[in-house]
Structure 1
Amino acid sequence: MRVLVVAAPLPGHLTPLLPFAHALWDSGHEVLLASGGDAFAHGAAGPGGRALPFIDVARNLRLGRLAARSLVTHPVTTHAELTGRGGDAGLRSMFGPVNEELTDALMTVAEQWRPDVVLHEPFAVAGALTAARHDVPAVLHENGLLDGLAAAATLLDSRPLQRARARYAVRGVPPPAVVLTIAPASLVGARDALAVRPAPVTVGGPLPGWLKVPSVRPRILVLRGGGPVRGDLQTSALRVVRAAAGGLDCELVLARPPARLARRLGSGVRSVGRVAPAELLPVCAAVVHGGSSGHVLSALATGIPQLALPGPGDRRHNARLVDARGAGIGGPVTEDALRRLVHDGELAAAAREVRAEIAEMPPPQARVDVVAALA
């Protein structure tokens, strides 16, 4: 069986699909990753550093140019999206044009490679369009906490995708034959999808020796995000440092802090370079991060409380889910919030409950036969 795996050209969109792609490959199926840009720059390797075959379908796509165009043509929507309040309009304004540009390259790839199944994430519905055009089944693999079916339907209904459908004479796009979700049900509610255990974020170097030694005081990890959330997290890191200086009885660990901050960390604050969150999280009592779904799920899988900052795109939604589940706090960094992170037993208990829930979710290998049966 040949499976074409399609993701938007961003690391956070491709990375959650890689465990399932590697499970397909390890089961003897052919796999081709179709994405581009920073998604490949951050690596598409699996266990043991094995990289899957990939093709860049976003070579001529400039996300910055599309974002600038969106800001000019839809300024209100774009500004709302930067605060996490863009909704469906924000989704269409950014990822509609992205998918229209991906469609042409994907159609060519499918004509030449002839996949039996197209597996795509919710923000890469050009994959669903390609599957419909070539009359092969599509599998929707969620890559975060948003409702994947709803997001995909919103994009398929956007004007850019309507133009792409007309260009290739695709009258209708069937619903996905299978939906896979990595979101714990207690966090997002029941979904008409097959659960797949999310994989921890393993990109980064090894754990430094000093972090392997247990700390007398609880450690709070501050993770920086990438892309548009980075600036927010820099500001938050400064607030964390000021809070620590105010007498918090904890040890702060800043992951890749800005250079200007690293030069004046203060007492009780240490920094660490590019280390995989999967290595950092288990040695810390709590974590503060920019609200990305990857960091949310990594913290939940570790079973430690988290403070998720509301931010652009889906980050405000993710922070609300964490707060509603009681496994952490969704809001700004304050000294009181940091105290709650390390001393509130209810937060810790809820985080451990979700960790147990994630551990019970089937691994990617357990769902391979479901997809193979579609070919």
Structure 2
Amino acid sequence: MRVLFVANPEKAHVLPMLPLAWALRTAGHEVRVACTPWFADVITQAGLTAVPVGRDYDLWELLRRQMHTLPDWSYRPEYGLPAPYDAAQDPAKADWDHLVKGYEEIVHLWHKPASFPLIADLVRFARQWEPDLVLWEPLAMAAPIAAEAVGAAHGRLLWSADAFGTTREHFLRLRDRRPEGARPDPLGDWLGGYARMHGGEFTESMVTGHFTIDQLPASLRLESGLPSLPMRFVPYGGPAVLPKWLWAPPERPRVALTMGVSSTDHGAGYEIDVQDVLDSLADLDVEVVATVAEDEQRKLARVPSNARLVPYVPLHALAPTCSLAIHHAGFGTFLTMAQHPVPQLLLPWDFDGPVLGRRAAAQGGSLAIEADRATVPAVREAVLRLLGEPGFRERAAALRDELRALPSPNALVPELERLTAAHRSPARRSA
């Protein structure tokens, strides 16, 4: 079968999709990855075939432009998820008026500007290539438009906790209690307009797919009644070279410090004070390996003698050597460390990081501190607990076992073949 992956030009969204793309490829299926032109190198570096569609854009820059009341990108993002998706982290916000207003705003601020550059070209390619299955990350909403236009089966592949699906379930539950004629649906109306433009009608699958592939284990997922396929996360961070210093095991407990690449890729800084975190570890009998972008390294006033600063190191190679990881609660970072197993100190701030932080802390293998509360005393105390109390490593080992029990991408392929046959339209609308 022909499988088309679709994602916004954002590494944190795309890289978790690529192991499944290769699983399908090695099973004999044809695979293409649609992306904006400038992002094609990220796909081809992974040995996959990129399909440049539409015009280039930066997701963060689009958001900044839409939020025209803000002077520049140096503003501090709000804590956690934006409306309406904050209803997934705060049940009090699962309110009809909040959800409707939130969907109105997020369609205007996010979904429209991020999808519009891709839709026409993506539909054109889909009609030419006729994919049987389209797999899309949950912010790539041009994908379900194209899939419905050609009658392809399609599903979401998550790179976060499913705040999108959980919020939609809240919305539909509340909508069904409303009288006829008082059921506005800003997201459905917007998607429905494009569906009709290409010969179809809006269905809920355009919001949440025919099914959802979730790479989080059950203990970390948000509750949902959506059709879901669990899949084991396979770390992939792009081209990687193993440095010689990583060949030998560490002589002291190794602590990894990383804040990911998303912020610095887009010219933004970190939400935590890296200097404070380094200072909190300076007199401990540990070896700190900190992946800090060179621009951010230059902001540091001092580097402790027990710290090694590098711009990048492959996390899947670093993780097995670590006794502790400190990071921003990024999806890929967390799951890479969790596989070995490594207790983690999470310092989240924006989007789904706080949700994952709370779920991970409840699971027991991690501690979480909001980024703006990550003071020297707070970080130091948490680090000493995570290194000194055996219960954290025991719970981290339980999480590792839970991850290992999930189906691998290769094992998921037969189920995707079955679902494609079940959901693919027998009468394609490609003419």
Q: TM-score, normalised by structure 2?
A: 0.76
Q: How does 1:76-155 map to 2 (within 5 A)?
A: 82-88=78-84, 89=102, 91-92=106-107, 93-147=109-163, 149-150=165-166
Q: Is the 8 A contact 1:307 1:330 kept in 2?
A: yes
Q: Counterpart of 1:197?
A: 232
Cα distance, 1:244 vs. partner? 2.3
Residue 329 (structure 1) aligns with:
367
Please say if residues 43 and 50 of structure 2, whose CA atoms lie closer than 8 Å, have aligned partners that are also in contact: no
Q: 1:343 to 1:41 in 2, by over 3 A?
A: farther
Greater shift, 55-64 or 104-113, is seen at 55-64
Which of 252, 277, 294 pairs up with 1:217? 252
* Contact 1:308 1:329 (C-alpha < 8 Å) held by counterparts: yes
Unaligned runs of 5+ in 2: 85-101, 172-184, 422-431
Instruction: Quickly say closer, same or farther: Cα 1:37–1:57, change in 2 above 3 A.
Output: same
Q: Distance in 2 between matches of 1:39 and 1:188?
A: 30
1:129-186 CA distance string (max 9 Å, x none): 2111212211222222224534678898166535434543532135233322111101
In the alignment of these two chains, the number of paired residues is 368
Q: CA deviation at 1:53?
A: 1.1
User: Out of 268, 276, 291, which is 1:255 matched to?
Assistant: 291
| Aligned twin of 2:393 | 348
In the other structure, the counterpart of 1:170 is 200
Bigger Rg, which one: 2
Within 2, Cα distance between the matches of 1:31 and 1:349? 40
Q: 1:159 to 1:226 in 2, by over 3 A?
A: farther
Residues of 1 paired with 2:118 and 2:40: CA distance?
15
How many angstroms apart in 1 are the aligned matches of 2:222 and 2:155? 21
**Unmatched 5+ residue regions in structure 1?**
none
Residue 222 of structure 1 aligns to a residue whose secondary structure is strand
* 2:6–2:33 contact (8 Å) kept in structure 1: yes
Query: Is the alpha carbon distance of 1:9 and 1:152 closer, same or farther for their aligned partners in structure 2, counting shifts above 3 Å?
Result: farther
1:291/1:104 Cα in 2 relative to 1: closer, same or farther (>3 Å)? Answer: same
1:292-314 Cα deviation digits (max 9, x unpaired)? 11111111122101122222222
Quick check: 2:132–2:152 contact (8 Å CA) kept in 1?
yes
- Other-structure match for 2:216: 183
Q: Offset of 1:227 from its aligned partner? A: 2.8
Cα pair 1:81 1:87 within 8 Å, conserved: no
CA contact 1:262–1:271 (8 Å) conserved in 2: no
> Aligned residue for 2:3?
3
Contact 1:218 1:251 in 2 (8 A): yes
Q: Determine which structure has greater relative contact order: mean sequence separation of CA pairs < 8 Å that are 6+ residues apart, divided by chain length.
A: 2
Note the C-alpha offset of 1:118.
1.3
Contact 2:272 2:347 in 1 (8 A): no
SS in 2 for 1:99: helix
The alpha carbon displacement at 1:318 in A equals: 1.9
Moved more, 22-31 or 139-148: 139-148
Contact 1:232 1:290 in 2 (8 A): no
Q: Distance in 1 between matches of 2:200 and 2:223?
A: 32
Question: Is the 8 Å Cα contact of residues 45 and 239 (structure 2) preserved in structure 1?
Answer: no
Alpha-carbon shift at residue 18 of structure 1 (Å): 0.8
Task: Please state whether the residue corresponding to 1:194 is helix, strand or coil.
Answer: strand
CA distance in 1, matches of 2:9, 2:391: 39
The amino acid of 2:17's aligned partner reads L
Measured in 2, the distance between the counterparts of 1:278 and 1:201 equals: 8
Cα distance in 2 between the residues matched to 1:160 and 1:304: 43
Residue 276 of structure 2 is matched in structure 1 by: 239
RMSD over aligned CA atoms reads 3.0
Q: Distance in 1 between matches of 2:141 and 2:5?
A: 11
Is residue 357 from structure 1 mapped to residue 410 from structure 2 by the alignment? no
2:64 counterpart of 1:68: yes
User: Secondary structure in 2 aligned to 1:188?
Assistant: coil
Q: 1:270 and 1:315, CA in 2 relative to 1: closer, same or farther beyond 3 A?
A: same
C-alpha spacing 1:66/1:159, structure 2 compared with 1 (3 Å)? farther
Per the alignment, in what secondary structure is the counterpart of residue 238 of structure 2?
coil
Deviations 1:104-146 (A, max 9, x none): 2211111111111111121112211211121221122222222
**CA separation in 2, counterparts of 1:308 and 1:371?**
34
Question: TM-score, normalised to structure 1's length?
Answer: 0.87
What are the superposed Cα offsets for residues 43-74 of structure 1, whole Å, 9 maximum, x if unpaired? 4544xxxx111112242434354213321279
Instruction: Compute the displacement of 1:39 (Å).
Output: 4.7
Amino acid at match of 2:28: G
Aligned residue for 2:339, secondary structure, equals helix
Report the AA paired with residue 217 of structure 2: P
Q: Which residue of 1 aligns with 2:262?
A: 227
